[in-house]
Amino acid sequence: MKGFRPQKIAIVGAGAIGAYYGCLLARVGHEVHFLLRGDFDVVSREGFHVRTRETQFHLHPVHAHADVDDIGFCDLVIIAIKTSNNAALAQLLPPLEAPGHTIFLTLQNGMGNVETLARLFPPGQIVAGLCFTCINRTAPGVIENYHAGRIQFADATGGPARAHTHAVAEMFAAAGVASKAVDSLERALWLKLCWNVPFNGLAIAGGGITTDRILASPPLRDLARALMHEVQEAAAAHGVEIPANHVAAQFSLTEGMGAYKPSSLIDFVSGRPVEISAIWGEPLRRGQAKGVDMGRLACLHSLLRHMVTSR
Amino acid sequence: MKGFRPQKIAIVGAGAIGAYYGCLLARVGHEVHFLLRGDFDVVSREGFHVRTRETQFHLHPVHAHADVDDIGFCDLVIIAIKTSNNAALAQLLPPLEAPGHTIFLTLQNGMGNVETLARLFPPGQIVAGLCFTCINRTAPGVIENYHAGRIQFADATGGPARAHTHAVAEMFAAAGVASKAVDSLERALWLKLCWNVPFNGLAIAGGGITTDRILASPPLRDLARALMHEVQEAAAAHGVEIPANHVAAQFSLTEGMGAYKPSSLIDFVSGRPVEISAIWGEPLRRGQAKGVDMGRLACLHSLLRHMVTSR
């Protein structure tokens, strides 16, 4: 698949992440089909308005679809629905596959997504993209990106990135996204969770607060660090060494983010599903499966489950 | 001190617990002096109104004092201030002591109280009373007790109850309180914390909820059990075996309590100090000092500290 150049791309789940990257790819000339639900009417009529710190553009007309069967086979399918709705993928994805050919790229949060895809398609057709960015859908068809961010791409097979993964990374790079193919999905996932587990979680459990307030609260700051150490221990039990300076770096990184609202907090306060399993449940399960107790994560996970169901 | 019969009793901290037991002792003929702050004027003028499920009575006139120096030496000093204000005891208690004679009885929540008293007086003059009850001060001078409850009395020395502890228990029994002298303060404290750690804590961290809602939430119910197991582990590391059926019994007990508001939740929503150190901080510290990780308790403790300071 060297030189893989998709002719036709589907975006399954055109929320903030899916719509944003789909628009960037369409802007540089790819044929991008968006599967939409609530925003279908607005986007069909008015297209997407994308705003970043540097620029803004209007994508119009848009290949908007309310039904996956209207899209047909694609070369690349980008999955960006909430992980809490992953059960729907068994219905949504098969109509898009040219067997043995289509690449499925999950841009979703947390752990367990490639496993969900691998129950439907061969691992060699699956790529994971870990997004380090902050993108919001501020109104139907309106997408705002507050900092450029980057994506790490990894093979779902767990091994070093192969040609098609490099090709996907190059395609995103050509669309203006800071992109990198990395050699261990497992390592990339644990490293990313070092941030998401404490900061997404404490933003909700701390009472609906931005990351600057987590850092400013001595007990929450200590708890964030202790949660990272639990993630680090669980990763180590899975053969992934997270260096001590990675933990320290998360704090200086977060200092620079100001009054940042993690996506899970935005989901929580908007009454949308929160990705409990992908961000907290699955790393907890994987740590405990190796005998790592992860008591703080267990406590946080239980409180979040309760808070989400009792909203 | 066999046959210890106090002529003169002081209540230091006449909130719900202090006022209630002081009134019961006064009603059967003891000379009881109440140290009051905010309620001094009302109680001086109108006395205490006490309501229980079975009866109600009016204690009037009352020996009400705004200044501890107006009370003088006592045979028995009952300490019932919030543990979060324990630093004040070094000023409040010495004027009440007849050296070598006065018994100091703490009816306060959680761990660390006899240690505070033992920095001021010989352990042989200190008794701990663990209250299993629910008493509220519903208005200035108005005390309501919703279920009869009971008190366990233990020697501060850590050994089996000696004569003065039995005498104190008998004095309370004669005033109508279900009372029992027990042989290990440490054991009694850990057993009581099995309930307070999860239920007082999750009532706050779960979003201001009564105990029936903790039991009705599968994640919180599981977390409550896991927190009890951490308390059980820490107790074991201190030589106290908490039987498995004690943990089970806490759940059936709590089922019977209905929509119960733990005292810490009442404190939290009223903006009053919450006894973070006595109920969560000190057992955490003691567990960790023996190498028990107590990750769930550490997480809950940090969240509670944050929530209390950011009210």
Q: Which domain does B68 fall in, by range? A: 8-183
Q: Is residue A1 part of a domain?
A: no
DSSP for residue A125 = G
In this structure, the answer to whether residues B75 and B41 fall within a common structural domain is yes
Widest Cα–Cα separation across chain B: 54
pLDDT at position B4 is 63
In this structure, the answer to whether residues A60 and A155 fall within a common structural domain is yes
In this structure, the answer to whether residues A29 and A173 fall within a common structural domain is yes
Q: Is residue A305 part of a domain?
A: yes
The arithmetic mean of pLDDT across residues B280-294, rounded, is 97
For residues A136-174, b (16+ Cβ closer than 10 Å) or e, as one string?
Answer: bbeeebbbbbbeeeebbbbbbbeeebeebbbbbbbbbee
Query: What dihedral do alpha carbons B201, B203, B205, B207 form, nearest 10°?
Result: -170
Q: Do A310 and B217 touch (CB under 8 A)?
A: yes
Q: Do B207 and A310 touch (CB under 8 A)?
A: yes
Q: Is B98 on the interface with A (CB under 8 A)?
A: no
Tens digits of residue pLDDT in A10-57: 999 999 999 999 999 999 999 999 999 999 999 999 999 999 988 899
Contacts of A230 in chain B (CB under 8 A): 295
Q: Is residue B25 part of a domain?
A: yes
Write the single-letter amino acid at A266. I
At A6, the pLDDT band (50, 70, 90 cuts) reads: confident
In this structure, the answer to whether residues A211 and A137 fall within a common structural domain is no
Tens digits of residue pLDDT in A229-248: 999 999 999 999 999 999 99
What integer best gives the mean pLDDT of chain B?
A: 95
In this structure, the answer to whether residues A149 and A215 fall within a common structural domain is no
Sign of CA pseudo-dihedral B261, B265, B270, B272:
positive
Over 60: is that where the pLDDT of B3 sits? no
Tens digits of residue pLDDT in B50-77: 999 889 999 999 999 999 999 999 999 9
At B305, the pLDDT band (50, 70, 90 cuts) reads: very high
Q: Is residue B2 part of a domain?
A: no
Contacts of A296 in chain B (CB under 8 A): 295-296, 298-299
What does the block give as tokens for A169?
A: 């990374």
Interface test with B, best of A222, A296, A308 (most B CBs within 10 A): A296
What does the block give as tokens for A117?
A: 């895809």
The arithmetic mean of pLDDT across residues B223-250, rounded, is 97
Q: Is residue A90 part of a domain?
A: yes
Final residue of a structural domain among A141, A161, A183? A183
Burial of B44 (0-12, 13-18, 19+ CB in 10 A): middle
Tens digits of residue pLDDT in A104-158: 999 999 999 999 999 999 999 999 999 998 888 999 999 999 777 899 999 999 8
Final residue of a structural domain among A183, A216, A233? A183
Tens digits of residue pLDDT in A61-118: 999 999 999 999 999 999 999 999 999 999 999 999 999 999 999 999 999 999 999 9
In this structure, the answer to whether residues A172 and A104 fall within a common structural domain is yes
**Residue % of chain A over a pLDDT of 90:** 92
Q: Is residue B104 part of a domain?
A: yes
In this structure, the answer to whether residues B179 and B196 fall within a common structural domain is no
Final residue of a structural domain among A167, A183, A199? A183
Q: Is A230 on the interface with B (CB under 8 A)?
A: yes
Instruction: Quote the number of domains for chain B.
Output: 2
| Closest to A286 measured CA to CA, from A210, A202, A193, A181 | A193
> d(Cα A21, Cα A145) in Å, to the nearest integer?
10
> d(Cα B5, Cα A113) in Å, to the nearest integer?
72
- For residue A201, give how far its alpha carbon lies from the nearest alpha carbon of chain B (Å): 11
What does the block give as tokens for B233?
A: 């582990």
Strand partners of residue A181: A153
Q: Is residue A3 part of a domain?
A: no
In this structure, the answer to whether residues B135 and B230 fall within a common structural domain is no
In this structure, the answer to whether residues A195 and A179 fall within a common structural domain is no
Q: Is residue A56 part of a domain?
A: yes
Contacts of A310 in chain B (CB under 8 A): 206-207, 209, 213, 217
| Closest residue in chain A to residue B209, using alpha carbons only | A310
Tens digits of residue pLDDT in B127-143: 999 999 889 899 999 99
Q: What is the CATH number of the domain that holds B127?
A: 3.40.50.720
Q: What is the CATH number of the domain that holds B288?
A: 1.10.1040.10
In this structure, the answer to whether residues A77 and A211 fall within a common structural domain is no
Dihedrals phi, psi of B207, to nearest 5 degrees: 110, 25
- For residue B7, give how far its alpha carbon lies from the nearest alpha carbon of chain A (Å): 47
> d(Cα A88, Cα A120) in Å, to the nearest integer?
12
In this structure, the answer to whether residues B93 and B202 fall within a common structural domain is no
Tens digits of residue pLDDT in A260-302: 999 999 999 999 999 999 999 999 999 999 999 999 999 999 9
Burial of B73 (0-12, 13-18, 19+ CB in 10 A): middle
pLDDT at position B235 is 98
In this structure, the answer to whether residues B179 and B223 fall within a common structural domain is no
